[in-house]
Each structure stands twice: as C-alpha cells, then as structure tokens.
Amino acid sequence: MGRFIDREQELVTLNRLLEQPGAQFLVVYGRRRVGKTTLLLKWAQDSGRPFVYWVASRDTPDRLRWSLARALWRYFRPDRTPPTFEHWEVLFENLADELGDQQLVLILDELPYAAEADPALTSKLQNAWDHLFKDKNLCLVVAGSQIGMMHRLQSYSAPLFGRFTARLQLKPLPFYALREFLPRYSLEQRIAVYAILGGIPAYLERFDDSQSIAANVQREIFDPSGMFGMEPFFLLNEEVREPRNFVAVIRAIAQGQRTLDEIAGFTGLARQNASTYLSRLRDLHYVERAVPATLRPERRTTRGRYKLRDNYLRFYFRFVEPNRDLLETGQVGRVWEQVNDQMRAFVGMTAFEDLCRQWVIEQAIQGRLPFLPDRVGSHWSRDAQVDVVAIRWEQKHILLGEAKWGTDPVSRSVLTDLLGKTSKVVPEGGAGWTVHHALFARAGFTEATQSLAGERGVRLVDLAELGRGLGTE
C-alpha cells in the first residue's frame, strides 16, 4: 500500500457509510495515481470489518471471473481452489450463499477494465444487487480511474443508475499536504513543486527533498524511460481511443492559446471539432473554461478562457514535450537551463495565483473576510486584468488582488496600479460597491507600499501569511 497522507475527510465519509444500517453500494472514482486504492485499503484495514479486495485487469471475461473467484475463496474457503464460473450470475449467486448473514466489505477496483472486457457485466451486477445483495450485510465498493467510464456507470441510462447509495470523487491532495511529503523544503520550494506536480500522491512520492528541485526534475521528469516521460499520453490513452487531437488541444492551451478560436487556429482543427475535444477534456477534468469573476453567473459570454486543470500537464506540455528530442539525446542540463529561465514566470502565473485565490476562499470559510463571496476567480478585459477577484453580488462587495512571485519586494507602483484599475473592473463603474484590495507577494513589500496600504486599507499578504492561511505552517 502506498504512503498514506491526509484524506481524513474522505475516511470520515467512508466510515459514516459503514455506520448506516443495511447494504451499501459505493462508487469511488478519480484520475489515475490520485490514491484511490491506498485510501480504500487503509479504510478497509482500519474499519475492523472483514474485507475482500479485487482489482480487475485487461483480460478475458473467463480469466476475470476466475481471478475474482480466487480473491473471494481466499476469504471464504482458503483451503480450497475456486471452481470455474462460466457466467457472472453463478459467481454472484455463490458469493451471496457464502456471505449469508456475515459482514463484508467487497472492493472491486478498476471495474471499467472488466466492463470493457464484458459489457454485460454491469447489467449482471445490477441484477445481483437487486436480487442477491441489497438485503445482505454487504458494503460493495466499485472503483475506477477511467473518469469517462465511471461517469457513464452513474448515468441515467446505465444499468446501475439509482443503485449507488453513496459516491466519492477523489481529488488531488490539497497544497498543505505537500509539507508531509517534502518537510525539508521551504514553503517557496513547495509552491514550485506544486506548480510542477500538483497534489498527485504518486508523483510527490518520487521527489526527494534532500535534493534540489532541479535535481529531482532532471532525475525523474526528464528521464525518457521513467514514469513521468509518457505519463500524459498514458492518461489520455486510458480515456480516449484517438488521443492525437486531444493532445494537440492540450498542447495549444499549455503554449498560451486560451480561446476557442486561438486553439482551433493553433491546432489546425475546425472550430466545431476543437469545441468537441474541449468539451470531452472538460468532462475528464483535464481542462476547465473560466470566465471573468466580475460577470454575473447567469450571463452568457464569449470571453471564456480555457486552462489546464492538471498541474503536471501544464508543466509537461510547456517544458518537457517541446524538448523531447533534446532529452532523448541526453541533453538534460540544456533543457533545465531553458526551464529555469522561465520557471519564475510559470510558477507565478499558475500555482501562486491559484493558491492566492484558494487563500481568499479559506479566509471566507473561516469568517475572516468582510463578506462571503459568491465567486472567487480573476478578471480580464481590454482595459484591465486582475489576478484575484472575490465578489458578492447581492451586497455589492468585491475584493481585487494582485499576486507577485518576483524576487524583489513589491513596490508602491504595483499598488497604485491596482487601485487605479478599480473603476475599470468593478461592475457598474463601482457605484454603490464596497471595494477591498489585497496584494500577495513572495518577497514582501517595500516600506512605501506598506505605508500606502495602511492609508488605503489594503490587505498585504506575504508568503508566511499565505502559508498559514492555507494550513501549511
């Protein structure tokens, strides 16, 4: 079992499920390497309940039935060899007979592999739940990494629709969890790692905080034969049959194309086709479409921008994929020089801005903002761009903030520029609105900035305060 960090809330949710009377049918899903198996095994082992864990593979239906029967027989009849089951129905009937009144947690991991091999499986499982399992003392868990397939399992037209008693989508770990993976790194270093790897446990386990970030990137990510080298293509191959155009769209976004027209032009795809690929990538949680936070939620807009949600995809298609030829010929140092020259801007525009917006959300949750925002995001228009925006429409409260990842203290001119944007950004020209301002800085603030901020009531958030607000310090 992998290293177990965080996931306390997920464990509470799972344990609450076991406290419910009667049979339970749980679906757990999330992208590959996010830690589903580690979580489920930790939960099952600590629950005190007997459990059986089975993971499907890409195999024939006969072999899949045999491997599931073997896992079940190891629990029910460890001294016997399981029989051969020619049909899922007979296997499930035998399971119900063996179970009787006993308690059992049964985890069917990577179920989509089995469903691909035998499309009738989900119908057989639905029938077994309805007629054999739902009156048993059974907690049945199906899990999978293929997001598209897991969504289809829960759709209205799917056989299992309406049978699940609980759902759990496992998301990447929050930023504060990086402290446990990389305790010897500074907060500044962990933000840089977060920009590269995000909150994927299997990625974070590969970094060694006794070495520099440069050494880790060159050893792990720049190795063409390592796990990271072909990871994005592996992820997409799991989800789509023809990944080439999906890769082209992701590459376009990573290289700075943000609108549908820009992406279509960069890839050479027809606009409608590009839109179709973007829609699918959004369903898979690899891409999101953002709109300015200053637009009312009900308003339709063509000002949407696409961005990559997955941190490693951002890094890979920005720095690794364009330099694969150099990496294949061993020119690791040369590639790192290119990355290092652009790394500060990359971290500032991705992870640091994201974490500043997350800080605002956490402050609101804890009641430390003057208002509870309806939306937290950013603003862009022809007249102005603002990194951090929080808005409450009904009470007409808005917070505008800038995030600076530079190595020098933020100067007074940055603050005056932010204050000067107010009338261009606040809805209705600011009439009737209460406006709050904040500056976020990696390297702190000059005395002149602090003086003006005090006069104008501007919140100054340095790296230490950001870390405390995100629960890392």
Question: Does residue 366 sit in the same domain as residue 229?
Answer: no
Strands across the sheet containing 104-109: 51-55, 104-109, 138-144, 24-29, 166-169
Confidence at residue 473, expressed as pLDDT on a 0 to 100 scale? 65
Q: Measure Cα distances from 365 to 219, 361, 370, 389, 471 in Å.
A: 40, 6, 11, 16, 13
Confidence at residue 429, expressed as pLDDT on a 0 to 100 scale? 81
Give the pLDDT confidence of 218-258 residue by residue, as tens digits: 999 999 888 998 899 999 998 988 899 999 999 999 999 99
Nearest to 149 by CA among 38, 27, 234: 27
Alpha helices in 316-462 (DSSP H): 324-328, 332-347, 353-365, 412-420, 422-425, 447-456
Nearest to 463 by CA among 416, 410, 413: 410
CATH classification at residue 23: 3.40.50.300
Confidence at residue 430, expressed as pLDDT on a 0 to 100 scale? 80
Question: Does residue 333 sit in the same domain as residue 440?
Answer: no
Confidence at residue 247, expressed as pLDDT on a 0 to 100 scale? 96
DSSP string, 429-470: GGTT-EEEEEEEESS-B-HHHHHHHHHHT-EEE-HHHHHHHT
Question: Does residue 121 sit in the same domain as residue 80?
Answer: yes
State the DSSP H helix or E strand holding residue 233, giving kind and residue range, or none if neither: helix 231-239
Give the pLDDT confidence of 356-391 residue by residue, as tens digits: 999 999 999 999 999 999 999 999 999 899 999 999
In a domain, 354, yes or no: no
In a domain, 3, yes or no: no
pTM: 0.93
Alpha helices in 57-100 (DSSP H): 61-76, 88-99
Q: Measure Cα distances from 339 to 204, 317, 449 in Å.
A: 19, 12, 31
Question: Does residue 183 sit in the same domain as residue 128?
Answer: no
Answer with the one of 138, 169, 200 that is the final residue of a domain. Answer: 169
The residue segments making up the domain with residue 389 are 361-469
- What are the two backbone dihedrals, phi and then psi, of residue 356, each rounded to the nearest 5 degrees? -65, -40
pLDDT at 467 over 60: yes
Confidence at residue 155, expressed as pLDDT on a 0 to 100 scale? 87
Question: Does residue 328 sit in the same domain as residue 281?
Answer: yes
CATH classification at residue 404: 3.40.1350.10
CA distance from start to end of the chain: 28
Answer with the one of 140, 169, 198 that is the final residue of a domain. Answer: 169
In a domain, 193, yes or no: yes
Question: Does residue 65 sit in the same domain as residue 206?
Answer: no
pLDDT at 151 over 90: no
- In angstroms, the CA 401 to CA 390 distance is 9
Answer with the one of 300, 323, 349 that is the final residue of a domain. Answer: 349
CATH classification at residue 339: 1.10.10.10
Confidence at residue 318, expressed as pLDDT on a 0 to 100 scale? 95
Question: Does residue 180 sit in the same domain as residue 107?
Answer: no
pLDDT at 1 over 80: no
- In angstroms, the CA 235 to CA 238 distance is 5
Split into its structural domains, the chain has a count of: 3
Question: Does residue 214 sit in the same domain as residue 253?
Answer: yes
In a domain, 26, yes or no: yes
pLDDT at 2 over 60: no
